[in-house]
Structure 1
Amino acid sequence: MAANERVGGNVPSSEMKPFRDCVADCGILDIAATGALYTWNNKQQPEERIYSRLDMVLVNKDWCDHLQDLYAHFLPEGMYVHTPCIVSSNKQVQVKRCFKYFNIWGGSKDFISTLRSTWQSKVVGTPMFKLVKKLKMLKPALRQLNREKFSDIEHAADVKQKQIEDLQGQLGRDPSDMQKRAAESEATAQLKELAAARDSFLAQKAKHKWVQDGDSNSAFFHGLLKQRKHGNKVFRIEDTHGRAWDTPDQIQDAFLDYYKGLLGSSQAIGKIHRRIIEQGPKCSPEDCVALMRPISGKEVKDALFSIPDIKSPGPDGFTSKFFKDAWGEVWEK
């Protein structure tokens, strides 16, 4: 499927394209997989060995809809050239969904008023504390805005499309009906807004920059959303001792143990010798002055506005697009 799924030998991209096109045309997707990455090798001498990911489990939209907790696990190939594959189920525990700012919210007529109602609240503390506190206070208000305006944006666009088709059918029978003409024009304008909001919402969820107008209604596009959500789950993991774990609690403990190990244990740090530091590269006096120079508001704004809107949010769930949408309200307030 891709050049990075092969080690050794060369396969022209033109030879992979027909299969990729076939998969896209059929609307099938590769489910989450664990275990061996390369599922085939030619068993030749070490210097002539070729590894490739030839085996995968491809499923259609119905599979994604009804069997979301299944994943493929590829075992070592042993004496065979292909790796055996086991399709397993791992029921995930439902956890509270984290807050995430959706870019479509900034286009709502009520966004600024919702923002102001929270941002004008009096909070006492350091500037960073006030910022973090207000962002936390803003989350319930934005969730409420989402429920009122965007809770079912895809369905709303479909309903509006059907309304337009009905009006156009009536106008086809009686083109002189001015009331129907006005209603059709108004519904068309509303559909454009809904369609733009829907496409923005789905593109952000899929995190695909190549999403174009019209892609969002295809079964393949919705399959991509499910594949991304499915791929973000961890079904199986090996700890630092090579032991495999597949229950949610075991997976969580394996992650915690690994990162605790990275942090290390507390140790006394020896004296830092200035003579050794002097031997390495150092900042010049001019560089030191530049590093201590106050950062201007223009530099902050330029850096923030250079971040693409579709980039992942920070730990608090707010994307760069939020600060762009709210810049006039939150800057220096």
Structure 2
Amino acid sequence: MQHPLRKLNRDKFADLHEQQARFRDKLSKIQQQMLSDPHNESHKAQERECREQYIEITTSVISLVQQQCKVDRIQYGDECTRYFFARAKGRKMASYIYALQDETGTKVEGFDSVGTILLDYYKKMLGKQFIPGSHIIPERENSERLHMSRPREKDGKKPHAGLPK
């Protein structure tokens, strides 16, 4: 399909600017003839036909220029997009850690090795597994719990003193 389209383009549209110049000159000559003989019907018909062909070719030239502008704009946009993503990738790559020294001072390279060292470091820094509240409220045995909930007479209050009978 591509080959026939190229042939059609080469045969019909390769010399659009030349065709436009030819028809402009031809139209100009016919219009000069019409000025010398304004009532000649054959000159009017030739002028109308030549003008229509000139308008058609001019429309094709404008369409071709628009297509070329679109192609240029797309290519320019692709270059800008390519540049933007290259810069974004560069910034992302700058934030990666490729090499690191471990606790012994040995330089370690590679994402997996560096990841392992960082994981071990933070595990060591954070310590063992944490149970929320375990260090604040120690667990009591049942006998201690019962003793804590009973009112005591030492406090100056009798058990069940404020409760209705």
TM-score category of the 2 structures, normalised to the smaller one: 0.3 to 0.5
Which entry has the higher C-alpha Rg, 1 or 2? 2
Judging by fraction of residues, say which structure has more helix: 2
Flag the structure with more relative contact order, 1 or 2, with Cα contacts below 8 A and sequence separation at least 6: 1
TM-score by length of 1: 0.22
TM-score (norm 2): 0.42
